[in-house]
Amino acid sequence: MPELLEIKGLDARYGDFQALYGVDMTVSAGEVVAVIGANGAGKTTLMRSISGLIRNGADMVRYRGNAIGALRADQVAAQGVALVPEGRLLFQSLSVEENLIIGGQMGRKGPWNLRRLYDLFPILEERRNVPATALSGGQQQMVAIGRALMSNPDLLMMDEISLGLAPVIIRQIYEALPGIVGEGLTAIVVEQDIAKALSVSSRVICLQEGRVSLSGKSGDVTRDAISRAYFGV
């Protein structure tokens, strides 16, 4: 039985600039893995590589045993991988509800639909007909998460969902997280806030300058090991 996600020797580049060097990582079904690291360590590149926004060697990324490293993002999405991108990146010409609907346009079966999302984030139902970019930052983040959930993914990746949000909003969003990752969903959470990352995850990976500098159980890693892996000192 292959792991849900298996990354082996992933080298990813933007044009001439190489951002990841030989990254190895596995994610088993049902777990929450946190990816931490300083700015520019390659976290977002890793997310973009898994989702197909950056295309790499086919064998570098395997999903349910299938080589998906070279697929287009829409082909990866069709297999049940969803990304909440850093900076939310909502569709500005679409209303809140349209942003959510387009997330579900592949028609994958699963527990998530508009009704359940509105139960999770009631404010979105109230504001469903306004342009998505007219919402506050926290509400926009809810739309971004909802848009990803609407595809009923098996693997949900969230890239810095607390970036630029007020602490109270961040708490609100993270409080919704257990309800989201129950039901067998597997998640990768990219987070700057290390304490937050450790508290929601079962395993943690730290990236430093494009390489994995630490990998272990979230409960076992020491503060010391993390700061060494984070800053390389």
Partner 1 sequence: MDWLNAILQGTLLGGLYAMFAAGLSLIFGVMRLVNIAHGDLIVLSAYLALTVAVGLGLNPMLALVIVVPLMAAIGYALQRLVLNRTMGDDILPPLLVTFGLSVIIQNALLTVYTADPQKLNAGAIETASVPLGPLTVGIMPVIVFAAAVGVIGLLQWMFYHTALGRAFRATSDRQDIAQLMGLNRAHVFGLAMAICLAVTALAGVFLGMRTSFDPAVGGTRLIFGFEAVIIGGLGNLWGTLAGGVILGVAQTVGAKIHPGFQILAGHIVFLLILAVRPRGLFPRMD
Residue with smaller CB distance to partner 1, 100 or 170: 100
Which lies closer to partner 1 via its Cβ, residue 53 or residue 169? 53
With contacts defined by CB under 8 A, name the span among 2-10, 76-84, 110-118, 189-197 that binds partner 1.
76-84
Answer whether 59's CB lies under 8 Å from 51's CB.
no
Residue 106 in the binding site for partner 1 (CB under 8 A) = yes
Tell me whether residue 38 or residue 102 sits nearer to partner 1 (CB atom). 102
Decide whether 39 or 105 has the Cβ nearer to partner 1: 105
Smallest separation, CB 224 to partner 1 (Å): 37
- Using the minimum distance from each CB to partner 1, give the nearer residue, 67 or 94: 94
CB of 147 to partner 1, least distance (A): 7
Pairing of strands 17-27, 203-208: unpaired
The 120-159 site mask, x for binding partner 1 (CB under 8 A), equals ---------------------------x---x--------
Q: How far is the CB of 140 from partner 1 (least distance, A)?
A: 13
- Among the residue ranges 15-23, 85-93, 196-204, 223-231, the one whose residues contact partner 1 (CB under 8 A): 85-93
Give the tokens for residue 20: 């990841």
Q: Give the interface with partner 1 as residue ranges (CB under 8 A).
A: 51-53, 72-74, 77-78, 82-83, 85, 89, 91-94, 98, 101-103, 105-106, 147, 151
